[in-house]
Amino acid sequence: MNAMTSVTDSFPVEEIRALFPAIQKAGDFIFLENAGGSQVPQSVVDAVANHLIDNNVQRMARYAHSEGVDRKLAEARESVAMLVNAYRPEEISFGLNATSFIRLVSLGISKMLGERNEIVITDMDHDANIATWTALEADGAKIVWWHMREDGRLHTEDLVPLVGDRTRLVACTVTAHAIGTIVDVASVGRIAHAAGAEVFLDSVHYGPHGLIDVQAWDCDYLVCSGYKNFSPHMGFLWGRYEVLCRLPTFKEDFIPDMPPYKIEVGTFPYENVAGMNAAVLYLESVGRRFLNGENSRRAAITAAMAAIRGYEVTLSRAMIAVLKRHGATIYGISDEALLDQRVPTICFNIGGITPQDIATDMGKAGIGLRDGHMFAPRLMKRLGLAMETGAVRVSMVHYNTLDEVARFDAKLGEIIARRRG
Ligand SMILES: Cc1ncc(COP(=O)(O)O)c(C=O)c1O
């Protein structure tokens, strides 16, 4: 038995797929656009529905429905704190999406710039983690670019000379949403902190693929979005408690000046936060299939993400082999030996056929994927691609299968033959 067979055999993908009603309902349809939002297990659907039936009221009142909201928010905070390995649950704030949290943090930082006014950002990131920071130039920030190399990776040795006693913050992604590269964020944490700077991590794309560990990464802020993490639309911010205490935020006078309240002003979709709680419980249930020995919630999450990483490498390997066979230009890591440095989010072009034609033909054939700029204008420029056309992206998660990759392979062959024919 070769290594690839053994990982795919031991990963219970069919049992997992049976837990996702959208996958069951979709029949032969193939979800290859999970970077645009993953599907949710039935337990998440139930958590959202139950919240709407039992607790669709405002929090902090003295009756059972409302007390239930408070209890569920506290449970979700505990779960998400477990998911990211927070030091304490109060470090988790809930809200609408990742972008609004990046903006909230950046506005706070803009008020504390002073002598340390340099913000390091990358050209591999989603524009949500770029434009939010470049907007601070109006407040006196100086933007310093950490450029991606030709190999589609951010090399931490390139970061070292960019960081010094004027660096206020390094903001970067944990994993590129367009090309799938994983960044060595633990080294980013070390380099930035050695210079007295803070670290802001965008974990929106990494979340469904690997273990988040804010303590091991030694970062200061981290954002995630529910919809990529087997949950409905919502976002959360983790921030080191003392750092959040210092961060200036807007809040009404009646709101306590402490995390998470000073961050969570106004109402947010409580039912979707209940869904995010269920998504963490789902991941734990996946992990318990692989645990032998320690039985804590964090151990289950760790086991789940390790199993998911291993399985996803087989998906990357298979998809990259297919794309190479069809002569695709792959943006980012395609070297067999480096597959553990990427997730199965793969961006490519096929010579002589537009990304739009490929995506249209695939869509008609029941394969959902994305074409275009991937909301990353700087990255498109770096890759020499036009914003109007961009590239094609296939993005898989742990409920995708090698059989789906094979069906994609066959369809791509047909499209190339017909379009070039
Ligand atoms: C890496 C990354 N960062 C940020 C965002 C923006 O997230 P949100 O839509 O939750 O604001 C996305 C969305 O696709 C993303 O992929």
SS (H, E, C) 333-353: CCCHHHHHHECCEEEEEECCE
298: pLDDT strictly greater than 90 = yes
Residue 20 Cα to ligand 1 middle (Å): 23
Query: Atom 14 of ligand 1 has which residue's CA nearest to it?
Result: 36
Instruction: Find the 104 Cα to ligand 1 centroid distance in Å.
Output: 15
Token representation of residue 157: 């040795």
Distance CA 24, CA 164 (A): 53
**Residue from 418, 419, 406 nearest 32 by CA:** 406
What is the number of residues in the chain? 421
pLDDT, tens digit, for every residue of 93-151? 999 999 999 999 999 999 999 989 999 999 999 999 999 999 999 999 999 999 999 99
Report percent pLDDT > 90 for the chain.
95
The whole-angstrom separation of Cα 220 and Cα 281 is: 25
Residue 393: the pLDDT is 98
Residue to mutate (ligand 1; options 94, 97, 99; most atoms within 8 A of CB)? 99
CA of 225 to the centre of ligand 1 (A): 7
Average pLDDT over residues 162-181: 98
Residue predicted with more confidence, 247 or 420: 247
Given a cut of 80, whether residue 58 has pLDDT beyond it is yes
- Ligand 1 shell residues, CB under 6 Å: 97-99, 126, 128-129, 173, 177, 202, 204-205, 225, 235
**Contact 144/119 with Cβ under 8 angstroms?**
yes
In this predicted model, what pLDDT tens digit does every residue of 183-220 receive, in sequence order? Answer: 999 999 999 999 999 999 999 999 999 999 999 999 99
Q: What is the pLDDT of residue 1?
A: 42
pLDDT higher at 8 or 27: 27
For residue 96, give the ligand 1 atom closest to its CA. Answer: 10
Nearest atom, ligand 1, residue 233 CA:
10
Which ligand 1 atom sits nearest the alpha carbon of residue 225? 10
**Average pLDDT over all residues of the chain:** 96
